[in-house]
Amino acid sequence: MNKIHFWKNKNILITGVAGFVGSNLAKNLSNLGSNVIGISQRKNKKNSLLFYENINKKIEIFYCDITDKEKINKIIKKYKIQICFHLAAQVEVGLAKKDPYGTWESNIRGTYTLLELFRKNKKQIKSIIIASSDKAYGEYGLNKMPYDEKYPLKPIFPYDTSKACADMIAKTYASKLFNLPIIITRFSNIYGPGQLNFTALIPGLIKSCIFNRRFKMRGNGESIRDYIYINDIVDIYKILAKNLYSKPKKYSGEIFNAGTNTPYKTKTILKNIFTYKKRIKELSKVNKIIKKNKTSGELQVQYMNYIKLNKNFGWKPKYEFGKVLPEVFKWYEDYFKNTSP
């Protein structure tokens, strides 16, 4: 089965399609000839790669909330969905602390609403990928890194807990009790073209460089994270969905971590981006400011290996942060030239 042939004419549902990962996945799959059906909560076309690159014209979009059982039921039935990537989520960590209720609604209720609908419409669905997160693990400390898929989930902060709940609900639907074909992914921080949430570190830093503005960094720069490029993530999603489709017994209920196993302090990312743009004075000013910042409310150390993905599918990351930075920076420069900030 060659790659293009597999994806051609497959009916694919992407929830959160106007988001960063959803737009990139929709772009890739629509180019391969899949029938992409997207669910988007927002009609606002700003800050979305889907509209910026006219990907919306190649797919069917429905504007509704992921908790809207009736509408989503109609979509699943009408389009005979075979593969689903569940990406819709309230992802802003700060907002989750201010409004945990809204985050529980989207991330937990949204997930069981969707899975319950597939439980009742089992005929066509062959592959469901649920986006959990490295945040679902909670704090394990440096000597327990990288996270292992077998680690129990012990989150505390609201976003992290919401992802862990969705993750566990997905496991129940994958169990012998309900037998839905589900893989759960726990990825580290994703970056790259189309990430237009400027509260995230890399887009926030790049934007501050482009507009010559001071970057307000959360924390003191000492927290450790792993950053994986969006093209690697799109490849992993496709590998997982395709293998689950053809071997549901082997892969259903499995969890896959992915990162690059290359941890960076957030202050190193700051340094790399500012040095690349020769903002050396500004770098030393920001470094002085962040030393006084508190770090509460976020995990200190998180990074991922990809041993399980590699053992099962031979996957390894193709992109390195240092090498793709010029390309990523250029994408944002073009984006700001073509849109009003």
Ligand X SMILES: NC(=O)c1ccc[n+]([C@@H]2O[C@H](COP(=O)([O-])OP(=O)(O)OC[C@H]3O[C@@H](n4cnc5c(N)ncnc54)[C@H](O)[C@@H]3O)[C@@H](O)[C@H]2O)c1
Longest dimension (CA), the chain: 61
Is there a contact between 304 and 188 (Cβ–Cβ < 8 Å)?
Answer: yes
| 22 counts as binding ligand X under rule CB under 6 A | yes
Q: SS3 of 81, please?
A: coil
Report d(CA 170, CA 177) in Å as an integer: 12
How many of the chain's residues bind ligand X (CB under 6 A)?
26
Closest to ligand X by CB, 55 vs 66, is: 66
Report d(CA 275, CA 19) in Å as an integer: 29
| 133 counts as binding ligand X under rule CB under 6 A | yes
The DSSP line for 109-166 is: IHHHHHHHHHHHSTTT--EEEEE--GGGG----GGGPSB-TTSPP---SHHHHHHHHH
Binding test (CB under 6 A) with ligand X, winner from 8, 42, 80, 154: 42
Binding test (CB under 6 A) with ligand X, winner from 89, 129, 183, 283: 89
| 50 counts as binding ligand X under rule CB under 6 A | no
Binding test (CB under 6 A) with ligand X, winner from 104, 187, 306, 332: 187
Region 232-251 residues binding ligand X, contact defined as CB under 6 A = none
Closest to ligand X by CB, 84 vs 283, is: 84
| 61 counts as binding ligand X under rule CB under 6 A | no
Is there a contact between 274 and 214 (Cβ–Cβ < 8 Å)?
Answer: no
Residue 322 token pair: 């240092």
159 tagged catalytic: yes
Candidate list 159, 191, 251, 303, residue with the active-site label? 159
Q: How far is CA 72 from the centre of its chain?
A: 21
CB atoms within 10 A of CB 133: 24
Binding test (CB under 6 A) with ligand X, winner from 14, 28, 110, 183: 110
Binding test (CB under 6 A) with ligand X, winner from 26, 88, 117, 286: 88
Binding test (CB under 6 A) with ligand X, winner from 11, 28, 82, 106: 106
Q: Active-site residue numbers?
A: 159
Give the interface with ligand X as residue ranges (CB under 6 A): 16, 18-22, 39, 41-42, 65-67, 87-91, 106, 110, 131, 133, 163, 187, 189-190, 197
